């Protein structure tokens, strides 16, 4: 049978990875797919740079639309990035009847509903394993591996840059700014690292996983997003003393009243496997009602890990494109006519526990005034750590771990505590999850 | 569309789990699969016990063949276990044109080649996600999620009983026999635990993963199998001091000359994620040339985790049964006509490193005589730990970690060392893998 013909738009680092993996493993891939998969045309504005990568093994075109217009091409890989041109190209490819494979998390988190609807109407598939957690087949696990389950929650380290920074901060006791510079020097962080360190990239990926897990449309605008820029080495140390690590987690959880969708630094018990995921690695924990806890770990970025996911999508499309379209794997895991309108909960209704650090005057009655406020808001305390103040010091750190509560209730209590004359600086609050 | 009709043979613990998961999550499953999945008939010899589980929600039949003969049934779930009756039933179901889902690792590790050939000839699918690592979708990850990769090796904790025993031995410093009794009392080990503690169950699962990873037929008879019954608490302690944990691993690795296929206790660096998998949990590490290291973690047994995998197979079959049979996911990941005849390597040609513990006389020249033997066999030493002997003691423990070598070479050296008059007891040797 004639090989599946693939065109690639955006031949950058990942695109080159796709080319190399497809070339190197073509025999292995054909033995698996039952049909060859051939990259026949690639697009990059700079033709010389493109030819330096693919040689004469694929046609090189300067105009992305030439890939889409090519009637020989069955599948278009979009690796342009961004949400403007990429959106146009993906929609045009779909309109032209091409299946699409993309690694573009921002595009799908923001415009997924429109794109998947267009693909469904046209009877083509959009593969996006590479959009979440790089080479880890987490989209496949969620959409196909756990179909018997009612998914309860997902918690993931889905941004390698921030996990690298947090690992370094803990290992070396350094502060955020110092480690960020090191990460940039080593290539783990980009020159403009905003999307990573502010949690936006993680929120894109989380939005996609949440939709797939719970059968709801992608709703990036409703995600609560906090990055790691405010995180202090002090709190990483205190967390450690209490048996916790701090990770930037994307968390989405089904509650009776709606779905939590949030990215923020989180204390996690040090004994949990995910707390031990170090450096630039990614990991996603999925809790299902039948399977219990499962975890998926691997490289979340990089040319070949991402290419691994792109090629898996190519093979899947090669397999499923002859299947009855109604029984292909639905884009959002659930059939388009079976999506739910479960609301995304506002932050005030999120349930979580907290780590609090208060700089307080070292005098009688301070702890009592604080615990009274917590009690008034129905907040129960799990643990308290009061540092011995040094000789002559008049203030000390008070660390409190709470049990689960509504975020809104905690915010109200925090405002009251912050107003106490014995609380001497801004209170640090970091969410905590037991993940059990 | 009419729901897919499913019959279940062998309504035991897992079967009941399948019934409960299918009932409880039927709406969610239908929203995913695009079609209902209905368990219409179950088989168990004791009809009253069967009715106590399914009530009037499914027909109860005493004869398994009534399930197979039922023309309304599309998919047969085999949960009988064993390799005799189960084999007959699976082959009969295939001959009757039914798709089959099974959790039977022994059956597939031993008779997989025959069963998959029959299914291929008949154009039906045999799903077996539940046969390896319970609820972890590892078969799907290997067959579909990593199709772009040349798989290099797999190392897995794929038997919960032995991992529970090893975790307890380490945590509590107890010996094997004591912990085994505790595990039996808690239900983590069966009354006859032979298949688990001798590594046979792990070898069944490893055999299946190895075939899928490397595109070779299942060859259980060629697996090298060692269990944990000889493992001593002393070695767990020494390993700990050297920064290692001891796990029962199933390891399969592609070498230039063939494939390694082996189950044995293994030292693993304590900092590896898999070394921190505790209790009855399972985890599988897969190394691919493009994706690098990935890890999959979850419950490897139990009614609902196993049911989770069975239901995922039911959904997959619901999706793929309308697809062109040549483009369905091949049973062994590679197309049947594209399997390789790469040999399974004999143990002497396996490459690994070693932990050695020698009880030696505490006198000059002992270390030298031993290191000389190692050097003569071209075995290089990574680390040596000599315990201070107690006052008045005339013997001591000598621990040696080696670098990678051929097993055959180590065996020859071990025989020579064992013959030294200064070596006072049987040498303990345990394989060691860096898994990096």
3-state SS assignment for residue B3: coil
**CATH fit for domain B4-137+303-338, picks 3.40.630.10, 3.30.499.10, 1.10.468.10, 3.40.50.720:** 3.40.50.720
The CA-based diameter of chain A, rounded to the nearest angstrom, is 83
Residue B144 has a pLDDT of: 97
Contacts of A291 in chain B (CB under 8 A): 135-136, 298-299, 304-305, 308-309
Residues A333-350, mean pLDDT to the nearest whole number: 94
Residue A268 has a pLDDT of: 98
- Is A125 an interface residue toward B (CB < 8 Å)? no
Residues A112-129, mean pLDDT to the nearest whole number: 97
Residue A322 pLDDT class (50, 70, 90 cuts): confident
Q: How many CB pairs under 8 A join A and B?
A: 245
| pLDDT over 70, % of chain A | 100
Residue A320 pLDDT class (50, 70, 90 cuts): confident
Residues A105-132, mean pLDDT to the nearest whole number: 97
Nearest CA in chain B to A321: B323
B119-143: string of b/e by CB count within 10 Å (b at 16+)? bbebebbbbbbbbbbbbbbbbbbbb
Nearest to B140 among A35, A144, A304 (CB): A144
CA angle (B238 as vertex; B237, B242 as ends), nearest 5: 115
Contacts of A273 in chain B (CB under 8 A): 273, 276-277, 297
Nearest to A294 among B145, B294, B298 (CB): B298
Tell me how far apart the alpha carbons of residues A111 and A316 are, in angstroms, rounded to a whole number: 23
Residue A378 CA from chain centroid, whole number: 33
**Per-residue pLDDT tens for B186-208?**
988 999 999 999 999 999 999 99
Contacts of A318 in chain B (CB under 8 A): 327
SS3 string of chain A?
Answer: CCCEEEEEECCCHHHHHHHHHHHHCHHHHHHHHCCCEEEEEEECCCHHHHHHHHCCCCEEECCHHHHHHCCCCCEEEECCCCCCHHHHHHHHHHHCCCEEEECCHHHHHHHHHHHHHHHHHHCCCEECHHHCCCCCCHHHHHHHHCCCCCEEEEEEECCHHHHHHHHHHHHHCCCHHHHHHHHHHHCCCCCCCHHHHCCHHHHHHHHHHHHHHHCCCCCHHHCEECCCCCCCHHHHHHHHHCCEEEEEEEEEEEECCEEEEEEEEEEEECCCHHHHCCCCEEEEEEEECCCEEEEEEEECCCHHHHHHHHHHHHHHHHHHCCCCHHHCCCCCCCCHHHCCCCCECCHHHCEEEEEEEEEEECCCCHHHHHHHHHHHCCCCEEEEEECCCCCCCCEEEEEEEECCEEHHHHHHHHHHHHCCCCECCCCEEEEECCCC
CA-CA-CA-CA torsion for A338, A344, A349, A350, nearest 10 degrees? 90
Nearest CA in chain A to B139: A145
**CATH fit for domain B139-299, picks 3.30.360.10, 3.40.50.300, 3.40.50.1820, 3.40.50.970:** 3.30.360.10
The domain A144-299: what is its CATH number?
3.30.360.10
**Per-residue pLDDT tens for A36-56?**
999 999 999 999 999 999 999
B residues 4-33 near A, CB within 8 Å?
Answer: 17, 21-22, 24-25, 28-33
- Is B186 an interface residue toward A (CB < 8 Å)? no
Nearest CA in chain A to B338: A31
Residue A326 has a pLDDT of: 78
Catalytic residue among A105, A140, A205, A432: A205
- Is A408 an interface residue toward B (CB < 8 Å)? no
- Is A309 an interface residue toward B (CB < 8 Å)? yes
3-state SS assignment for residue B370: helix
Query: Are the Cβ atoms of B150 and A25 closer than 8 angstroms?
Result: yes
What pairs with residue A154 in β-bridges? A252, A286
Tell me how far apart the alpha carbons of residues A101 and A89 are, in angstroms, rounded to a whole number: 12
Domain boundaries, chain A: 4-137+303-338, 144-299, 348-432
- Is A35 an interface residue toward B (CB < 8 Å)? yes
Contacts of A22 in chain B (CB under 8 A): 148
Contact predicate B352/B372, CB 8 Å:
no
Contact predicate A159/A202, CB 8 Å:
yes
Contact predicate B27/B54, CB 8 Å:
no
Question: Which class is domain B351-432?
Answer: alpha beta
Query: Hey, of A4, A16, A32, A125, which one would you mutate to test binding to chain B, going by the most B CBs within 10 A of its CB?
Result: A32
**Which CATH topology does A348-432 take?**
Alpha-Beta Plaits (3.30.70)
Nearest CA in chain A to B276: A273
Q: How far does the CA of residue B29 sit from the closest CA of chain A (Å)?
A: 6
Q: How far does the CA of residue B79 sit from the closest CA of chain A (Å)?
A: 17
A residues 365-394 near B, CB within 8 Å?
Answer: none
- Is B338 an interface residue toward A (CB < 8 Å)? yes
**Per-residue pLDDT tens for A357-416?**
999 999 989 999 999 999 999 999 999 998 777 777 889 999 999 999 999 999 999 999
- Is B34 an interface residue toward A (CB < 8 Å)? yes
Tell me how far apart the alpha carbons of residues B26 and B29 are, in angstroms, rounded to a whole number: 5
A residues 260-289 near B, CB within 8 Å?
Answer: 273, 276-277, 288-289
Nearest to A21 among B25, B290, B299 (CB): B290
Nearest CA in chain A to B339: A31
Query: Are the Cβ atoms of A295 and B293 closer than 8 angstroms?
Result: no
Q: Cite the beta strand spans of B168-324 per DSSP E.
A: 224-225, 244-255, 258-269, 281-288, 292-299
Residue A1 has a pLDDT of: 80
Structure tokens at A287: 């809790």
Residue B88 has a pLDDT of: 98
Nearest to A290 among B305, B314, B338 (CB): B305
**Per-residue pLDDT tens for B275-325?**
999 999 999 999 999 999 999 999 999 999 999 999 999 999 998 887 778
Nearest to B145 among A137, A277, A295 (CB): A137
Contacts of B334 in chain A (CB under 8 A): 31-32
Query: Are the Cβ atoms of A318 and B299 closer than 8 angstroms?
Result: no
Catalytic residue among B98, B205, B247, B299: B205
Q: Would you tell me how many other CB atoms lie within 10 Å of the CB of residue A39?
A: 26
Q: How far does the CA of residue A326 sit from the closest CA of chain B (Å)?
A: 7
Q: How far does the CA of residue B91 sit from the closest CA of chain A (Å)?
A: 25
3-state SS assignment for residue B231: coil
The residues of chain B scoring below 70 in pLDDT are none
The yes-or-no answer on residue B205 being catalytic is: yes
Contacts of A292 in chain B (CB under 8 A): 135, 298-299, 302, 304-305
- Is A330 an interface residue toward B (CB < 8 Å)? yes
Residue A327 pLDDT class (50, 70, 90 cuts): confident
- Is A147 an interface residue toward B (CB < 8 Å)? yes
Query: Are the Cβ atoms of B148 and A294 closer than 8 angstroms?
Result: no
Look at residues B122, B74, B70 and name the one whose alpha carbon lies nearest to residue B99. B74
Query: Are the Cβ atoms of B140 and A136 closer than 8 angstroms?
Result: no
**Per-residue pLDDT tens for A346-358?**
999 999 999 999 9
Nearest to B296 among A292, A296, A330 (CB): A296
**Per-residue pLDDT tens for A401-422?**
999 999 999 999 999 999 999 9
């Amino acid at each position: 049978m004639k090989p599946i013909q693939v065109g690639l738009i955006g031949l950058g680092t990942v695109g080159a990875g796709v080319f190399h993996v497809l070339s190197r493993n073509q025999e292995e891939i054909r033995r698996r797919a039952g049909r060859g998969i051939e990259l026949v045309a690639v697009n990059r504005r700079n033709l010389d740079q493109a030819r330096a990568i693919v040689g004469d093994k694929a046609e090189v075109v300067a105009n992305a639309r030439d890939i889409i217009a090519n009637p020989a091409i069955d599948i278009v890989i979009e690796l342009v990035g961004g949400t403007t041109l990429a959106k146009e190209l993906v929609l045009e490819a779909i309109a032209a009847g091409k299946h699409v494979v993309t690694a573009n998390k921002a595009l799908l988190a923001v415009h997924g509903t429109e794109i998947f609807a267009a693909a469904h109407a046209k009877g083509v598939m959009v593969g996006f394993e590479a959009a979440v957690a790089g080479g880890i087949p987490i989209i496949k696990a969620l959409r196909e591996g756990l179909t018997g389950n009612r998914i309860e929650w997902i918690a993931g380290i889905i941004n390698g840059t921030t996990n690298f920074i947090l690992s370094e901060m803990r290992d070396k006791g350094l502060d955020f700014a110092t480690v960020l510079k090191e990460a940039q020097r080593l290539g783990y962080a980009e020159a403009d690292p905003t999307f990573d360190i502010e949690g936006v990239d993680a929120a894109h990926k989380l939005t996609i996983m949440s939709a797939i897990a719970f059968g709801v449309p992608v709703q990036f605008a409703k995600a609560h997003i906090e990055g790691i820029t405010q995180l202090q080495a002090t709190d990483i140390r205190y967390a450690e003393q209490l048996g916790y690590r701090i990770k930037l987690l994307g968390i989405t959880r089904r509650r009776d009243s709606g779905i939590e969708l949030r990215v923020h630094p989180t204390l996690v018990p040090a004994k949990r496997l995910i707390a031990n995921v170090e450096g630039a690695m990614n990991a996603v924990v999925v809790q299902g009602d039948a399977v219990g806890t499962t975890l998926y770990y691997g490289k979340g970025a990089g040319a070949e890990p991402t290419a691994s996911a792109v090629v898996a999508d190519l093979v899947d499309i090669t397999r499923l494109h002859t299947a009855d379209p109604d029984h292909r794997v639905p884009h959002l895991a659930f059939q388009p006519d079976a999506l739910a309108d479960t609301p995304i909960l506002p932050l005030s209704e999120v349930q979580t526990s907290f780590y609090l650090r208060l700089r307080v005057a070292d005098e009688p009655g301070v702890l009592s005034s604080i615990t009274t406020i917590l009690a008034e808001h129905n907040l129960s305390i799990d643990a308290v750590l009061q540092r011995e103040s040094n000789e002559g010091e008049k203030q000390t750190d008070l660390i409190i771990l709470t049990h689960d509560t509504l975020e809104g209730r905690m915010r109200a209590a925090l405002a009251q505590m912050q107003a106490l004359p014995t609380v001497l600086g801004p209170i640090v609050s970091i969410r905590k999850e037991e993940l059990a």
